[in-house]
Amino acid sequence: MEATASPTTDLPLFRRVSGTLLRSQQLGLVIVLIILGAALTAAAGSHPDRVTGAQVNNFLNAYTLIQMATDASAFAIMGVGATIVIISGGIDLSVGAIYALAGVVMAMVLRAAGPMGPIATVLLGLGACLGVSLVCGLLNGLMVIGLGVHPFIITLGTMWMLRGIAFVISKAESILVPSALTDVVKASLGFRTALYPVPLLVTLLVTVIGSVYLVRTVMGRHVFAIGGNVEASRFSGLGVDRVKLGVYVISGISAGIAAFVGAAFYGSATSSDGTGYELYVIAAAVVGGASLAGGKGSAVSALLGALLIVTIRQAIRTLHLDQNYEWIIIGGALIIAVVLDQSGSRLLARRLAAASATANRPRAA
């Protein structure tokens, strides 16, 4: 008799190989970050500490590292949501506009509410951000599944619409947020003055939640299935439209969380906030290993991608290079990431083909 290959025969191999490729890409990012950090530490020079007078490295010091983590927080938080969308086979270009609109609405709501205690201020501000971002994500998802138009076009349109709404309702003015909110997000938590770990902690929490959602929940597995083969998922009975709607809501909410942290940290919100963030967010996701073809990616990789982008930006500042090199280097990193992803996909296809041929080979009686 001849053995015939079945989906269950190849699935374990698919998971092993794809998992190995993803882990190797994460390990590669960690190695790149370590090498880049070591090179910057060696080349950055030093300066006297303002408090102790001791010489500290211009790059490898607590203030710079915490500031980098703060800068990366917006990209990483939104990157988790964007990665989930990309894994499903979609894309969301509106995250920067959602960031701006959520921040502006929060600032306006808090200004209208008047003085409140810290807890009430945080709850109202966070509720406003999450409410606006949830509605925006829901709008994106409904149009993607209802109109049957490519999500690139839908979210490009909503990017302009939501940014315009933010300009109209704020009259293009910068709106201050209550100091009580800023005090919470800038709490030192026992660290030295001027070290603010709260954005980093929020980023880590969002990354953990995103990882659990993708790896440990049924909905997360459905996201990977739909990104891998949407038609097969539909025929197998998965609620494709429901999952697609969910991923855009998640992306919107992640932008809302980032807006809350950003507006609270910097003390104000304006309609121009988040301009261009969608490019950094997508770059962080792709550099982190998310495949634009769908079906591959992780929340941890999005965090690593955001850290790499911020490290590149910090390197340019530390070495006093022309700021325009930032675009060149990040663009090059994005192209390299896509090429590596395609090479990995071809390697995976060859291994699956070899496994299928082995399974179909006639066996001796």
- Tens of pLDDT, residues 325-357: 888 888 888 888 777 767 766 666 676 666 666
pLDDT at residue number 364: 55
pLDDT at residue number 336: 81
What band does 216 get if pLDDT is binned at 50, 70 and 90? very high
pLDDT at residue number 358: 65
Average the pLDDT over 358-363 and give the result: 62
Residue 354 exposed, middle or buried by CB count within 10 Å (0-12, 13-18, 19+): exposed
With contact defined as beta carbons under 8 Å apart, do 293 and 345 qualify?
yes
pLDDT higher than threshold 80 for residue 215: yes
> What percentage of the chain has pLDDT greater than the value 70?
84
CA atoms within 13 A on the CB side of 225: 19
Extended beta strands in 46-105, E state: 46-48, 55-57
pLDDT higher than threshold 60 for residue 6: no
pLDDT at residue number 19: 55
Window from 155-164, 296-305, 315-324 with minimum mean pLDDT: 315-324
How, if at all, do strands 175-176 and 46-48 pair? Answer: unpaired
pLDDT at residue number 1: 40
- Tens of pLDDT, residues 239-293: 889 999 999 999 999 999 999 999 999 999 999 999 999 999 999 998 888 888 8
Structure tokens at 340: 């590596």
pLDDT at residue number 124: 96
With contact defined as beta carbons under 8 Å apart, do 91 and 85 qualify?
yes
Measured distance CA(46)–CA(48) in Å, rounded: 7
Measured distance CA(165)–CA(7) in Å, rounded: 48
Measured distance CA(185)–CA(122) in Å, rounded: 9
pLDDT higher than threshold 80 for residue 152: yes
Domain boundaries, the chain: 58-337
Residue 127: count other Cβ atoms within 10 Å of its Cβ.
14
SS3 268: strand
Instruction: Give the helix/strand (H/E) hosting 176.
Output: strand 175-176
Across the chain, what does the average pLDDT equal? 85
> What percentage of the chain has pLDDT greater than the value 90?
49
Closest alpha carbon to 280 in 247, 329, 239, 211: 329
What band does 307 get if pLDDT is binned at 50, 70 and 90? very high
Residue 323 exposed, middle or buried by CB count within 10 Å (0-12, 13-18, 19+): exposed
Average the pLDDT over 55-79 and give the result: 85
Place of tokens 């850290």: 307
pLDDT higher than threshold 60 for residue 164: yes
Structure tokens at 89: 């086979």
pLDDT at residue number 78: 96
Window from 29-43, 159-173, 293-307 with minimum mean pLDDT: 29-43
pLDDT higher than threshold 60 for residue 126: yes
